[in-house]
Structure 1
Amino acid sequence: MGGVIAVREIPMKTSSSLRRIAISAAIVAGLTAGIGFATEPTSCNLKVVKFYDKNANGLYDAGDRVIVGWPMTLGRAGSEARSTQLTNSSGQARWSLLPAGGGYWVGEAMPVESNWVQSAPVDADGNPVNPVTDVTLIAGRSKVIKFGNYCLAPSGGRTPGFWSNKNGRARLLDELDGAEEELALLRDLNLVDGNGLPFDPTTAEEVQAWINKTNATNMAAKLSSHLAAMVLNREAGFVNGTRTYLPFGGTINELIALANESLARDQFTPTGDEERAIQEQLKDHLDALNNGANAVAAKPCKRTF
């Protein structure tokens, strides 16, 4: 029979739900036919769960949302039959009354947009597995397979240079109380100047002058300027601190906290200081994000198939 599916035409007066049942039954028959499983009990269910992996850890965590409308395809070795479904409002594709046995495979379509990444399932080396093959269904049991994906998008950050120019100044002074809210946020940080002395600004002009003077002679000062820029970016709504930055391995909020902790430990880090390498790495991460580096998007991006 070669796995050819014969689908009987359903009269137009038949309801759409009955039509779907008839077509589904024909597909199941196609997966069964011609490959030696025609006499097996058809009491197995297969469910695929599609989730947005917002922290890119490959796990379906409590805070992860499902993705609706993602094409998932079921097949079986030795058969040309295919069944493709779009994930429903619960992020699921379901197949019922399947014959027990092995040789099944299930895969997901990948969007045309290249910023999408599959994070689950993966093999022992962390490489995406798609399709999942050699799936065995056991009579009377349901099989669940989870596919996770995330997408990358620019951070939205603005550089220290932005916050030291007229555009940044205008943003600092955009509230009725001027820059007081932003200045208070900066004073709550462990910022330092080139000499390792605390920097607690009271005016926007002080912030701009301080940024323009900072350099990497004292890495703590350079880290301070990028930390200040990121905190201002977050306050202005340019950056979402809950997003994951993969080169760092955590969220932007966590990066901000670590940078601030490092500045609390050591305020003067010239060449040779043991904290300098740590601060330089933190500075580099913040620098990249302040320049718009890609981070995991907080919610699913546009996708076309």
Structure 2
Amino acid sequence: MNTQSLFKIRSWKPLFVSVMLAVGWLLMAGGVLHAAPPLPGAIFTTDSTCSGVDLNIYADKEDVYLNGGPSYPGAAGLPDDFYYVKVTAPDGTLLGTSVGSGNDTPVHVTDGEFDACYQLWAILIKASNGTGGYDDTPNPGGEYKVWVSTVATFDNDSTKTDNFKVKSGGGGVQEEATLNVLKFYDANADGSKDDDEVYLDGWKVRITDGIDIDRYTPVHVVVEPDDYTVSEYMPVESGWMSTTATSFAVSLSDGDDKTVEFGNLCLGAGGGRTLGFWSNRNGQALFGADDLALMVGLNLRNADGTDFDPASYAAFRSWLLSATATNMAYMLSAQLAAMELNVLNGFVSASALIYAPGTNSANALGFAKVGKVMNEANEELGLHGLTLSGSPYRDYQEALKRALDKANNNLNFVQSEPCPFTFSE
């Protein structure tokens, strides 16, 4: 080995050790390297009155103002800070910027809201020559994109954007339409808005006709007559389900005022107790003569398909603990038994709605009342007690079993009130 090679190795080893020690220290300290969280809040273009009218189309570039912060009551606003601003074409071509204007960060946020309604033309300089304002977009549809950021490089995680259109000439804007987007909580899981069901504020939706406009319900946006696609986002939290289409096509003509409504619900707990509960001391303490009589009265099955009519809690417990899905009727019986006990002992309401796709009790969206699913399962067990692999009834029984299993584990009850929801930025 020559001296130069030895020097390289000896120079490299301390660096490697230092890096590894630093990484190790971060890991031990819980300092795993994560990307910066995305900037919360939202920005919107508006007119000079800053009255809250949500506009997307303007007669002139000087008519476009910038506002932001909470887009609905209780929403998280932009962090209090000074912000850089730029305007680009939809493809990212720079048209105007506050960087180098003499006031690089002309927008300021206090308590989550903009200090003022800012005229874009007044706070930017043109990319082409550095004079005030911003250049015309090369986009044939007159489309622009405004950016607000805590960093001059406008990195994604530090930036919020919004799209708008300018239709200059011909006496200004001649045609426009209004698009409304609402979200309701579908508490009865029927796919339609009922009088007693509430609208949800703050659900994120996307409106697109070639460029994207992200908004939060309730949305009332003035747009150019065109064909639009309106889609809903799904929240970060699990358990939410759509009960309507998740995307709608909307055609708007001049003067139209149309509304799109999305329905959703969330799943969660409903008082279920598992097979484990009914086979331990807690379940045993509740298991009385009426519980035993109920079990005997059901069409419960053994592993070999024969009837199971327990003579005691001990026999029931042994049967419950031994349940497998080799014979699907056996496992369905076990889940049915647990749910029947849940209802009898007041833990679950027989009228509670659960997600039960594949069952005959379910509506077109897959939701059914617990009591109906139990009756359906008991009837099916009376007809087909041995459903091994290859049985034509096995898939149907598995759908019943799955619905009751999830309910016993508190996973598929329709919640009477909306659950929390947030969206990735």
Q: 2:197 aligns with which of 65, 70, 88?
A: 65
Give distance in 2, aligned partners of 1:183 and 1:293: 24
Give distance in 2, aligned partners of 1:110 and 1:214: 37
Match of 2:182 in 1: 49
Q: 1:281 aligns with which of 383, 398, 409?
A: 398
Runs of 5+ consecutive residues of structure 1 not aligned to the other structure: 10-21, 88-92, 123-128, 173-178
Give distance in 2, aligned partners of 1:270 and 1:23: 62
Please give the secondary structure, in 2, of the residue aligned with 1:229: helix
Following superposition, the deviation at residue 169 of structure 1 comes to 1.0
Q: Contact 1:229–1:290 at 8 Å: present in 2 too? A: no
Following superposition, the deviation at residue 270 of structure 1 comes to 6.7
Give distance in 2, aligned partners of 1:68 and 1:222: 40
Match of 1:225 in 2: 334
Please give the secondary structure, in 2, of the residue aligned with 1:294: coil
CA offset digits 1:77-127 (Å, max 9, x no partner) = 5889x694543xxxxx445xx4662155655454342443445434xxxxx
Q: Contact 2:206–2:214 at 8 Å: present in 1 too? A: yes
Match of 1:244 in 2: 355
CA root-mean-square deviation: 4.5
Match of 2:83 in 1: none
1:7 aligned onto 2:31: no
Following superposition, the deviation at residue 280 of structure 1 comes to 5.3
Q: How many residues align?
A: 265
Please give the secondary structure, in 2, of the residue aligned with 1:211: helix
Give distance in 1, aligned partners of 2:54 and 2:329: 67
Give distance in 2, aligned partners of 1:62 and 1:266: 40
Q: Which runs of structure 2 are paired with 1:151-230 in the superposition (5 Å)?
A: 151-153=266-268, 157-172=272-287, 179-193=288-302, 198-200=307-309, 204-212=313-321, 219-230=328-339
Q: 1:23 aligns with which of 44, 52, 57?
A: 52
Match of 2:257 in 1: 142
Instruction: Please give the TM-score of this superposition, normalised by the length of structure 2.
Output: 0.48
Please give the secondary structure, in 2, of the residue aligned with 1:66: coil
Tell me the amino acid that sits aligned with residue 70 of structure 1: G
Following superposition, the deviation at residue 5 of structure 1 comes to 4.3
* Residues 297/164 of structure 1: CA separation in 2 closer, same or farther (3 Å cut): same
* Residues 109/100 of structure 1: CA separation in 2 closer, same or farther (3 Å cut): same
Per residue, is there more helix in 1 or in 2? 1
CA offset digits 1:32-53 (Å, max 9, x no partner) = 74367944355x4433231234
Give distance in 2, aligned partners of 1:210 and 1:76: 57
Match of 2:420 in 1: 302
CA offset digits 1:104-154 (Å, max 9, x no partner) = 5655454342443445434xxxxxx3xx57x43234543121222333436
Following superposition, the deviation at residue 199 of structure 1 comes to 4.3
Match of 1:113 in 2: 237
Please give the secondary structure, in 2, of the residue aligned with 1:48: strand
Q: Which has the larger radius of gyration?
A: 2
Runs of 5+ consecutive residues of structure 2 not aligned to the other structure: 1-43, 59-63, 65-163, 360-365
Give distance in 1, aligned partners of 2:198 and 2:166: 34
* Residues 137/186 of structure 1: CA separation in 2 closer, same or farther (3 Å cut): same
Give distance in 1, aligned partners of 2:377 and 2:225: 54
**Larger relative CO (CA 8 A, sep 6+): 1 or 2?**
1
Tell me the amino acid that sits aligned with residue 302 of structure 1: P
Moved more, 255-264 or 149-158: 149-158
Give distance in 2, aligned partners of 1:109 and 1:290: 27
Following superposition, the deviation at residue 71 of structure 1 comes to 3.9
Give distance in 2, aligned partners of 1:36 and 1:181: 82
Identity across matched positions, percent: 30
Please give the secondary structure, in 2, of the residue aligned with 1:146: strand
Q: Contact 1:72–1:106 at 8 Å: present in 2 too? A: no
